Chains A and B, each alone.
Chain A
Amino acid sequence: MLQYLVILLDDTSVAYCHAENPLKERYLISLNTLKKAILFGMKENLMIQYVYPEYDLPKEYSELIESIDHIKIGHDIKVYNDVTLSSTAGTAILRTTVADFISKQYDIAAMLSQVTRLIICLKDAELFQDEQIEQYKKALSTLSAMVLNLRKSDYQSEVNILTDRLTLKEMHNCGAGDSNITLAPNGKFYLCPAFYYDEKMGISNRLNHHKPSSERSVGDLETGLQIPNPQLLKLDHAPLCRICDAYHCNRCIWLNQKLTWDNNTPSHQQCVLAHLERNAARTLQQQLRAVGLNAGEEIKEIDYLDPFDVREKF
């Protein structure tokens, strides 16, 4: 069920997830389109998430933006593309590479004391290699040690790839096209911003070799949403994910399509990363319990990192 409407206010709105925003030229959503988008959100009962560009919007946009409950990504929620120690309260998104996550693990751990929630997003998850498993585990344990220390000091530090799994009792994934939908400045809907970027960059959608096209939209404000095969975006139609208990995993359908060519099938990289995080969360849980802190329902020990390898058992 749709719950969120993500509105890209400009083509240069900040990237806040796996995909980089390759668009460099400003293309501000028109006031008329924005008005219609807000109306759509109101009628469909959707929470609106505005995604801001780095420049200041014209004043006439403010009144419209403030006319409905919303979250401002890029404003209320800061997005960092590099590890920083600037003081920020609240929630922040850190977009980093696997290599930087490993090499800057102590700096990232230090960020945890400056925010209430840090959302770490790997920009190049698709390049993760099994040879990096041990290094990634080590970096996770560094963050985990910081979370443990902060919580011992009664500071409820959160970091998505470690602490989300502690509290989740079922899958809580990105939900692109299922629980949220993105509206681009052109007035068209996309499963998520990454699909809009692909369309703008002319990346083929592999759908019809006779008529190569980069068209990725799934409807527009005039005709409404038309998502083909919407069932394949849902958990119960994802054979690997529905048996999985890495509940915090992004289950990024854009990465799925990019790496496995099917929306409902995660790549080896995505599964391994999510399970390394899940297992690190399990260790953290045991450590929190050992010092008498609440750490959610027990996360069980498993002997695999990719559910694909044990799919026959389920």
Chain B
Amino acid sequence: MSTIRKRNDVWHEKMAKNITFIVTKDCQLACKYCYLVGKNEKERMPWNVAKAAIDYILDHENDPNFAYDSVVWDFIGGEPFLEIDLIDRICDYIKTELFRRNHQWFNSYRFSFSTNGINYASDKVQNFIKKNYNHLSIGITIDGTERKHDLNRVYKNSGRGSYQDVVCNIPLWIKQFPHSATKVTISSADIPYIHESVLHLYGLGIHEVNINCVFEDVWQNGDDQLFEEQLMRLADSIIERELYKNFSCSFFNENMGKPLDCKLQNGNWCGAGRMLSIDAEGNFYPCTRFAQYSLRDKEAWIIGNIHDGIDYNKIRPFLTLDRCTQSAPECIDCEVASGCAWCQGENFDAAHTHTVFERSTAICKMHKARVRANNYYWNKLYRKLELDGQREEFEANNAHVKPEIS
């Protein structure tokens, strides 16, 4: 069957509660684009905090805030696998408690990790993977070619690039999780390497590459033109080599770049407030991006803690957010609004007042460049399919692809 490869579905998307343990604020790397401005080696989650958090969450099974069919237990850092012993203990306890309580999440849970991949092959991590294999989602971040990756992803003490220490673990990762995707981050300095990097990642056997531009206000004059050129080169390569059949890249989405209606398409982009994030102190956040180590200027938005529970007044703003209320008129009236993402935490950090209702527009020109390249990609692809006599078949097979925002 002829088809254009679509991105993997997110496990139980919208049906799963996402609970994030910030197990450590330490990382081997000091990536130059990292939004975690307060990383440190001291704030490691103690076991008693993790246990108390789990107990609190499972004790509130009937609370509307936890009334989901499934759960994703997310572990982040810093680098989560630095705390593999703690994670292993947490996961064992979760499994035991879900069984003991006959909880609805028993057998409907995932353990999710986003790792820099450096100690992926270690015995402890591998033993953990074997033990929990059927309930794991693990993403390794590799940014592309060695020069692109090492431009940003460097060791914190030496400044040495980490590419070689990561790429050696990619074959094992793909063997264990053949459908896994990698996450690539683009900042101003690495725009020139987008084309080569995506193709490189495909060459490593990674079939899904999810890329996003950083949301912070880092963009220089001319970045949008350079970005557009890179994406058009990438479009040419993907189409000419027919890579679209087996690989996907989140830059290209057929439903992107359309106007949006303020009534029918007014959903919020992100799930902040529906998620729950816990740090080493036992504080709760609406998302990790609202913890102090993620914020440049604002005070952390703490919504409760393991002792006092959740202050539901503090999550009301998040759960009433919609696209148009937080958007400037230029965004509401934008002719290419669909697919333009935002990060609630960055919006908050950059806002002029203490609010989550002021959407940052730092990414505007990059989104518009992406839309132009995206239009180029689909026009070129469909023309090729037409000339190859495959267009109708492709269109029929891809009719189910979901829009990026609804």
Residues of chain A at the chain B interface (Cβ within 8 Å): 204-210, 228-229, 232, 237, 239-240, 257, 259-269, 308, 311
Q: Can you name 9 extra interface pairs (CB under 8 A) apart from A205-B354, A240-B320, A266-B316?
A: A206-B299, A207-B299, A207-B353, A208-B297, A208-B299, A232-B357, A261-B354, A264-B355, A264-B357
Counting CB contacts under 8 A, is B143 at the interface? no
Please give, as numbers and ranges, the residues of chain A lying within 8 Å of B312 by CB-CB distance.
268
Counting CB contacts under 8 A, is B352 at the interface? yes
Determine if A207 and B355 form an interchain contact, defined as CB atoms under 8 angstroms apart.
no
Proximity bits, B340-374, A CB within 8 Å = 1, else 0: 00000000000111111110000000000000000
Main secondary structure of the interface of A (DSSP, over half): loop
Please give, as numbers and ranges, the residues of chain A lying within 8 Å of B298 by CB-CB distance.
206-209
Proximity bits, B262-301, A CB within 8 Å = 1, else 0: 0000000000000000000000000000001001011111
Counting CB contacts under 8 A, is B321 at the interface? yes
Distance in angstroms between the alpha carbons of A267 and B314 in the assembled complex: 9
Counting CB contacts under 8 A, is B322 at the interface? yes
Please give, as numbers and ranges, the residues of chain B lying within 8 Å of A237 by CB-CB distance.
325, 357
Determine if B352 and A228 form an interchain contact, defined as CB atoms under 8 angstroms apart.
yes
Please give, as numbers and ranges, the residues of chain A lying within 8 Å of B317 by CB-CB distance.
260-262, 264-265
Determine if A308 and B353 form an interchain contact, defined as CB atoms under 8 angstroms apart.
no
Determine if B319 and A311 form an interchain contact, defined as CB atoms under 8 angstroms apart.
yes
Q: In the complex, which residue of chain B has the Cβ closest to the Cβ of A309?
A: B64
Distance in angstroms between the alpha carbons of A263 and B322 in the assembled complex: 16
Distance in angstroms between the alpha carbons of A148 and B321 in the assembled complex: 41
Counting CB contacts under 8 A, is B102 at the interface? no
Please give, as numbers and ranges, the residues of chain A lying within 8 Å of B316 by CB-CB distance.
240, 260, 262, 265-268, 308
Determine if A262 and B295 form an interchain contact, defined as CB atoms under 8 angstroms apart.
no
- Most chain B beta carbons < 10 A, residue from A210, A260, A265, A266: A265
Determine if B353 and A239 form an interchain contact, defined as CB atoms under 8 angstroms apart.
no
Distance in angstroms between the alpha carbons of A265 and B317 in the assembled complex: 6
Proximity bits, B319-337, A CB within 8 Å = 1, else 0: 1111001000000000000
CB contact under 8 A between A209 and B299, given known A229-B351, A229-B358: yes
Please give, as numbers and ranges, the residues of chain A lying within 8 Å of B358 by CB-CB distance.
229, 232
- Min CB–CB distance A65 → chain B (angstroms): 34
Determine if B313 and A239 form an interchain contact, defined as CB atoms under 8 angstroms apart.
no
Distance in angstroms between the alpha carbons of A56 and B67 in the assembled complex: 60
**Which of these, A228, A239, A263, contacts B320 with CB under 8 Å?**
A239
Distance in angstroms between the alpha carbons of A207 and B355 in the assembled complex: 9
Could you show 15 A-B contacts with beta carbons less than 8 Å apart? A207-B353, A208-B298, A209-B297, A209-B299, A210-B297, A229-B351, A232-B357, A257-B354, A262-B317, A262-B355, A263-B355, A264-B355, A265-B317, A266-B316, A268-B316
Please give, as numbers and ranges, the residues of chain B lying within 8 Å of A266 by CB-CB distance.
316
Please give, as numbers and ranges, the residues of chain B lying within 8 Å of A311 by CB-CB distance.
319-320
Distance in angstroms between the alpha carbons of A209 and B298 in the assembled complex: 5
Please give, as numbers and ranges, the residues of chain B lying within 8 Å of A204 by CB-CB distance.
299
Q: In the complex, which residue of chain B has the Cβ closest to the Cβ of A258?
A: B313
Distance in angstroms between the alpha carbons of A37 and B404 in the assembled complex: 52
Please give, as numbers and ranges, the residues of chain B lying within 8 Å of A210 by CB-CB distance.
297
Distance in angstroms between the alpha carbons of A19 and B27 in the assembled complex: 46
Determine if B319 and A232 form an interchain contact, defined as CB atoms under 8 angstroms apart.
no
CB contact under 8 A between A239 and B321, given known A261-B314, A308-B316: yes
Determine if B354 and A207 form an interchain contact, defined as CB atoms under 8 angstroms apart.
yes
Please give, as numbers and ranges, the residues of chain B lying within 8 Å of A208 by CB-CB distance.
297-299
CB contact under 8 A between A262 and B325, given known A267-B316, A268-B312: no
Distance in angstroms between the alpha carbons of A205 and B299 in the assembled complex: 10
- Most chain B beta carbons < 10 A, residue from A204, A229, A240: A229
- Min CB–CB distance A98 → chain B (angstroms): 17
Q: In the complex, which residue of chain B has the Cβ closest to the Cβ of A242?
A: B325
- Min CB–CB distance B109 → chain A (angstroms): 25
Distance in angstroms between the alpha carbons of A259 and B322 in the assembled complex: 20
- Min CB–CB distance B55 → chain A (angstroms): 25
Distance in angstroms between the alpha carbons of A17 and B313 in the assembled complex: 21
- Most chain B beta carbons < 10 A, residue from A208, A229, A240, A262: A262
**Which of these, B299, B322, B354, contacts A262 with CB under 8 Å?**
B354
Q: In the complex, which residue of chain B has the Cβ closest to the Cβ of A208?
A: B297
Please give, as numbers and ranges, the residues of chain A lying within 8 Å of B321 by CB-CB distance.
239
Please give, as numbers and ranges, the residues of chain A lying within 8 Å of B325 by CB-CB distance.
237, 239, 264
- Min CB–CB distance A33 → chain B (angstroms): 26
Distance in angstroms between the alpha carbons of A229 and B352 in the assembled complex: 7
Proximity bits, B233-255, A CB within 8 Å = 1, else 0: 00000000000000000000000
Distance in angstroms between the alpha carbons of A263 and B354 in the assembled complex: 8
Q: In the complex, which residue of chain B has the Cβ closest to the Cβ of A238?
A: B325
Please give, as numbers and ranges, the residues of chain B lying within 8 Å of A228 by CB-CB distance.
352-353
- Min CB–CB distance B311 → chain A (angstroms): 9
Q: In the complex, which residue of chain A has the Cβ closest to the Cβ of B266?
A: A239
- Min CB–CB distance A209 → chain B (angstroms): 4
Please give, as numbers and ranges, the residues of chain B lying within 8 Å of A308 by CB-CB distance.
316, 319-320
CB contact under 8 A between A265 and B320, given known A206-B299, A208-B297, A260-B313: yes
Determine if A262 and B356 form an interchain contact, defined as CB atoms under 8 angstroms apart.
yes
